[in-house]
Structure 1
Amino acid sequence: MSFSTRLQIGQAPVFRMGHVINVLQMSGAELEDHLMQAARENPFLVMRRRRNAVVRAGNALDLPDVDRADAPTSLFDHVLRELAGLLAHGGAMERLVLALVEELEPSGWLGRGAAEIAAELGLAETLVAQALRLVQHRISPAGLFARDLAECLRLQLEDQGLRDAEIDKLLDCLELLETGGLAALTEATGLSGDRVEHHLARLRRLDPKPGVRFSTDLTLLRAPDVRVEPRGDGWIAIVKPTFETEVSVLPEVTGGSSPELRLALKQARALKQALDLRKGALEQIMHYMVDVQSDYFRDGPEALHPLSRSVIAEGTGFHLSTVCRVLNGLLVEGPHGIFEARMLCAQTASRGAEGGPSKPRVLSRLRAALSEESPACPLSDQGLADRLCAEGLRVSRRVVAKYRHELGFAPASQRRLRA
């Protein structure tokens, strides 16, 4: 008996795992491009366009060519593309960046400050503040990830090289412009009236809410990816393909095949397996979200429960980045119309109060209270907070003031004057 050594290298498991990770982390648009490129290079991959009605109203000739859209279609998609380099570091950096992205509001501002985010993550506030500063200077347009109007404008001035000591003084007192006018701002800053007017003219050319430019989402023109229907006493999510093509793998050729063809077949099968795993992840995540938000599908936005992507990741067992990618650009059709799946991730009105009411519910009740108030005797912010508390919605006066401003209602004193 003779013994010999032989080195045998197997790459198939690692190759398949790499496909799964890459496909899970791709957005719908990125996956579409990846599949089209793979089909051009691999003879065993066959791509078929999904047939469905993209247009629900109007003339198709009036709509843009959605399939050819190269630009990011939403604020969330845009920031993930812009911050891909930071996310690629993994570890604490990826965790911090994803936490900041999750707090991003449609205006482009952060929903809460570094201290609150640090407390939730269990990290030092200085570390979160440093990560935020890095993100603010990596992202474009300038002003995204600001915590308030002054910081948003300051970031844009820095980007244009126009920030100086005078305009910093003005930004620190900017809220006085609404209550006391130009005179109060001039007195607080110690600048002349002409200089204040000069700086205000410069500020008015900036964008106070840079995230709004991404609010027109072209994905709203295509068919939904998930349909939610009633089933018994609950609801069920029926998942369609998340991309506009279907992929099939041709059978292996008969007879002797070359090593190149055998490798191409392995790659095609690995990609198909990764797509199936991605579809499974999407189904699990959507089923979990529909179970948590079943009251919404029955009663509407007021019934939304607070639900963060971190909670979804914990409940489904997927990584937070996977949850974020799966929900990116995903459209859901339910009894209340078509909406982005991320809308189901409702924020808590009072972030520090665990188990508190959701932001959509508080906004809805606050809008109703402001619409029903007497013009001659409008409710103060504290009065509005007390009224919401009587309805079982415990929120602070500060939160009420913030949401009142979001709804476009002036303070009580100004509403009384207008009456």
Structure 2
Amino acid sequence: MYLHTEQRQQQGLSPRLQQAVRLLQLSSLDFAHEVQAAVDSNPFLDTVDDEAPDEAAAAAPDMPLPEATHADALEAPAVTMADEGGDAQDSWQTAGPSDTPRSDDLDASPMNRVAAETSLSEYLLRQLHVLPIPPRDMLLAEAIVESLDDDGYLRMDDLSELIPVIELDPAVTVPELQIALKRVQSLEPAGVGARSVVECLLLQLDGIEDARERELVRLLVSEKLESLAHKDAATLAKQLGRPVDEVAAACARIRRLDPRPGWRFGSADIRYITPDVIVKKVRNNWTVSLNPAIVPKVRLHRVYAEMFQRHQQAQHPELASQLREARWTLRNVEQRFATILGVAQAIVKRQHHFFDYGPLAMKPMGLKEIAEEVGVHESTVSRVTNNKYMATPSGVFELKYFFSRAMTATSGTAFSGTAIRGLIKDMIENEKPDNPLSDAEITRQLAQQGFVVARRTVTKYRHLLKVEPVERRRNGT
């Protein structure tokens, strides 16, 4: 063992640069929360008050949001932030998080009075755990519950698919799983565990006390469910040889049944998206502008900064540090949104055919192309496009949506994966309901049009489009 010294040079990120990189890849909502936290902890940062426009204008005059056509993608965005000298342009205008009432008493929060939601699986498992059944049967029933979709359906062609998942000794058999399924189907809400709409409605018929009405409803659900959509009770009564009033009452009873019993529990995980940039067509040119609703309204607190400048900074090192941090925060906000705008402008410039003609006109595009045009590193483009969204006349798209590798057609021309997804979507939307297209058939039709892709690629794109496989589309499930 011995000691020796060695000198070497290596690249590294300073803590402040690491923080800037982390903030750059945050979504707009998360970034707004970070900025608000900085405002709450730093006395030199202040938010712009919308209710006092004259005062705000005196301290920091309104600056127009940058807007440019894709022809101006290389120009610097027209945004202004506070500089080191602390001039009159210390405010960065946007709609951001507003001040909210605070309370030191956590129990006083209204959110603490909101009832916790119970998921469907939790509700079913609570019922199972009070039943006097052996541990093996309990485990099988729990496996059935965990396999249900959010609407309460068991979308599984064969129960044997669960056998490899449930590792028991001796091995699980299909009859055991059928018994477990029947046990789950006996739970509330009625209709849960069904494998089709007909089965779901039939499981709810025990709640009909009148035996004659129950049997008529059973007959209608089993044999005439499609005819119920026409709401023609007279025709149904004639076909069944039953009085019209009885058939009409049975139809009304069926409409009161719940075809999606699982939706009563919990709530869907709805994620609302606020676009970062907005694309519009102005005088035949596509223009890109920042969304004013996503940039925090923050500025340097002029009064505190001037008071601090009149005293010796050496006596207050912690305040000097906070002032530097405040100015860095403002520059970081400026740099973030200037970069987002520049990347969005470069995307629109290269993909303007997409905005004119749709996904089929999407060009292959990589991060390197945009990085070279904007003058940043590829990793910066990757971070900027993460969780950032663009509002267009055709909808809201994540910035990553516009990037795809180049694929070559038989004619030698390049096309993008997005264009292929658009073709697959059109094929599926126009397929015959009684004869849907399989992935192999879609692959064959694409090849006939000159687009040679593997079948597994078609399967992957179909999953991205959230389209069921051909068997389920054929069965209408």
**What's the TM-score, normalizing by structure 1?**
0.49
- Bigger radius of gyration among the two: 2
**What's the TM-score, normalizing by structure 2?**
0.44
